[in-house]
A and B are shown apart, each in its own frame.
Chain A
Amino acid sequence: GAGVSQSPRYKVTKRGQDVALRCDPISGHVSLYWYRQALGQGPEFLTYFNYEAQQDKSGLPNDRFSAERPEGSISTLTIQRTEQRDSAMYRCASSTMTSGGEQYFGPGTRLTVT
């Protein structure tokens, strides 16, 4: 079946603009996670959802970052007033379990802020 998909795959934006990154999890997966990966490092947790409820947003760097999953399926990560330090790969993962479980990652969105 189809895996986790993310769009856009690449996004170049100017500093100060808002961006919205989309994640479409594997069908039937109940939990959805967002991570950020800097070059040469492992993914870093941002936030996650069980169904439509945001369970943990402790990894969001500041209040310019927000995420939603209104219908318990597709999720959007929004970054307002982007800064150059926001440039990174943003990854989404989904899982069949609400309490941990094996995570499956999407291809990521490469964000570049100029």
Chain B
Amino acid sequence: GIQVEQSPPDLILQEGANSTLRCNFSDSVNNLQWFHQNPWGQLINLFYIPSGTKQNGRLSATTVATERYSLLYISSSQTTDSGVYFCAVEIGSGTYKYIFGTGTRLKVLA
């Protein structure tokens, strides 16, 4: 089956720093989502981005489907950005389930 790997697995930042999180997938995908799981366990939608680039405030994401990766950029990080970031890919082919990546655990220090 498809492999979805995220890097780095862990990241510690000082407040105000920028970071790039990466999601690599081993096969073609139809859709891709980025989620933030906050310290309270909620899974929050960040981007639905099968291809191209999107921006939302301090966050932006780029998916290059032909090269099988997606990037999530966090600029001017804040302590509230702490948590785990997951990418999830949907492979289609008659079933439309999402396969989640391994996650990047981010801690932003004040």
> Interface residues, chain A, CB within 8 Å of chain B?
31, 33, 41-45, 48, 55-56, 58-59, 89, 91, 98-105, 107-108
Contact = CB atoms under 8 A, between A and B. Distances in A.
Given A101-B31, A102-B33, A103-B33, A43 B100 contact: yes
Contacts of B35: 105
B72 to A, nearest CB: 15
Query: Of residues B88, B98, B102, which shows the largest number of chain A Cβ atoms within 10 Å of its Cβ?
Result: B98
B13 interface: no
Given A89-B41, A101-B31, A107-B41, A42 B86 contact: yes
A102 B86 contact: no
Interface string B35-70: 100000111010010000000000000000000000
B31 A33 contact: no
A98 B31 CA distance: 13
B92 interface: yes
A33 B95 CA distance: 12
A43 B102 CA distance: 10
Contact of B30 (A31, A100, A108): A100
Contacts of B31: 100-102
Nearest to B43: A105
A79 to B, nearest CB: 19
29 contacts: A31-B96, A33-B97, A33-B98, A41-B103, A42-B86, A42-B100, A42-B103, A43-B43, A43-B86, A45-B98, A56-B96, A58-B97, A59-B97, A98-B96, A99-B96, A100-B30, A100-B31, A100-B90, A100-B92, A100-B96, A101-B31, A101-B48, A102-B31, A102-B33, A103-B88, A105-B35, A105-B42, A107-B41, A107-B42
Interface in B8-48: 30-31, 33, 35, 41-43, 45, 48
B86 to A, nearest CB: 5
A45 B42 contact: no
Contacts of A42: 86, 88, 100-103
B99 interface: yes
